[in-house]
Amino acid sequence: MRLPLTGTCQCGSIRYEIRGEPLSVYACHCTECQRQSAGAFALSMPVARDAVVVLSGKPKSWRRTTESGRVIQCIFCPQCGVRLFHNPESNPDISVVKPGTLDETGWLFPVGHIWTRSAQPWFKIPLDAICYEGQPPDLTKLTAAWRARSSRPTAGKN
């Protein structure tokens, strides 16, 4: 994994760059992520918000209030509808990138799983993963696990 990371929506009208190290990568099994991704879970990659730079196209956003009362700006491509970033209003330093939109995804690995109480029953969560039944109180453990993984000599070669 080499900076800057680059990514795009499905139709290609929005291109973006991530100029800072990912703080973590984790999987969210909440029912909103299942619906939004139209799949079993979504990957989340928090980064410093000022590390996210849109290079082309004009993303749109809508605001969603979560079950726990947090408000999230959901940033998406108005042409193809692909979700790109989630910006939590309660944490203006962080942007949560949807890392499946990156150009290179082979290095992605979720160190944690959140909202496991609504995970699809066939999905086997690895025993060494950081798990939360619902929303984690903060990202401390998820960022520490990511840092530990990234500093291993075999990591980061991709």
- Give me the residues that bind Zn ion (CB under 5 A), please: 9, 11, 13, 28, 30, 33, 77, 79-80
Nearer to Zn ion, 94 or 155 (CB): 94
| Of 80, 75, 81, 68, residue with least CA distance to 30 | 68
Nearer to Zn ion, 79 or 143 (CB): 79
CA dist 19 → 52, 56, 109 (Å)? 7, 15, 19
For the bound state, the minimum distance from the C-beta of residue 73 to Zn ion, rounded and expressed in Å, comes to 15
Radius of gyration from C-alpha coordinates of the chain: 15
Among the residues of the chain, which ranges form H helices?
A: 31-37, 140-150
For the bound state, the minimum distance from the C-beta of residue 128 to Zn ion, rounded and expressed in Å, comes to 21
For the bound state, the minimum distance from the C-beta of residue 57 to Zn ion, rounded and expressed in Å, comes to 7
Nearer to Zn ion, 31 or 158 (CB): 31
